[in-house]
Chain A
Amino acid sequence: MKNNKIAFLQLCSTLFLIVFLLNCESRQKQTEDSRENFSDLKQKQYYIEGKRLYKIHCSNCHMDEGEGLARLIPPLAQSDFMLSDISRTICIIKYGIAGEIDVNGVYYNQPMPGLIHLKDIEIAEIATYIYNSWGHNEGIISIPQVKEALKSCNKPTLPNQQ
Chain B
Amino acid sequence: MRFIRPDINRIFFFILFPFILNACYQANSEKHLPYLGNRIYQDGDTLYHQIANFSFIDQDSSLVTNEDFDGKVYVADFFFTSCPTICPKMKSQMLRVYESFKDNDEVMILSHTIDTKYDTIPLLKSYAERLDVEAPKWRFVTGKQEEIYELGQESYMVTTAEDEFSPGGYMHSGAFILVDKDRRVRGVYDGTKEEQVDQLIRDIPLLLKEYEEQ
Q: Which residues of A contact B (CB under 8 A)?
A: 1-2, 5-6, 9, 60-61, 63, 69-73, 108-113, 159-160, 162
The 6 closest A-B pairs by CB, nearest first: A71-B130, A61-B88, A72-B130, A70-B131, A160-B82, A113-B84
Total A-B residue contacts, Cβ distance less than 8 Å: 56
Contacts of B82 in A (CB 8 A): 111, 159-160
Q: Determine whether B127 belongs to the interface, using a CB cutoff of 8 Å to chain A.
A: yes
Contacts of A60 in B (CB 8 A): 84-86, 88-89
Whether A72 touches B88, Cβ cut-off 8 Å, given contacts A5-B4, A159-B82, is yes
Contacts of B11 in A (CB 8 A): 9
Give the size of the chain B interface in residues (CB under 8 angstroms): 28
Closest CB in chain A relative to B58 CB, distance in Å = 18
Contacts of B213 in A (CB 8 A): none
Taking CB as reference atom, which chain A residue is nearest B91?
A: A69
Bound state CA distance, A72 and B84, in angstroms? 13
Q: Determine whether B212 belongs to the interface, using a CB cutoff of 8 Å to chain A.
A: no
Q: Which residues of B contact A (CB under 8 A)?
A: 1, 3-4, 7-8, 11, 81-82, 84-86, 88-89, 91-92, 95, 115, 118, 126-127, 129-132, 164, 167-169
Contacts of B115 in A (CB 8 A): 160
Contacts of B126 in A (CB 8 A): 109
Contacts of A2 in B (CB 8 A): 1, 3-4
Asked if A73 and B88 sit within 8 Å, CB to CB, the answer is yes
Contacts of A9 in B (CB 8 A): 7, 11
Taking CB as reference atom, which chain B residue is nearest A72?
A: B130
Closest CB in chain B relative to A8 CB, distance in Å = 10
Bound state CA distance, A90 and B1, in angstroms? 74
Contacts of A6 in B (CB 8 A): 4
Asked if A72 and B4 sit within 8 Å, CB to CB, the answer is no
5 pairs of residues in contact across A and B, judged by CB atoms under 8 Å: A5-B4, A69-B131, A70-B132, A159-B118, A160-B169
Bound state CA distance, A108 and B89, in angstroms? 17
Contacts of B131 in A (CB 8 A): 69-72
User: Which of A71, A160, A162 sits near B132, CB closer than 8 Å?
Assistant: A71
Closest CB in chain B relative to A106 CB, distance in Å = 10
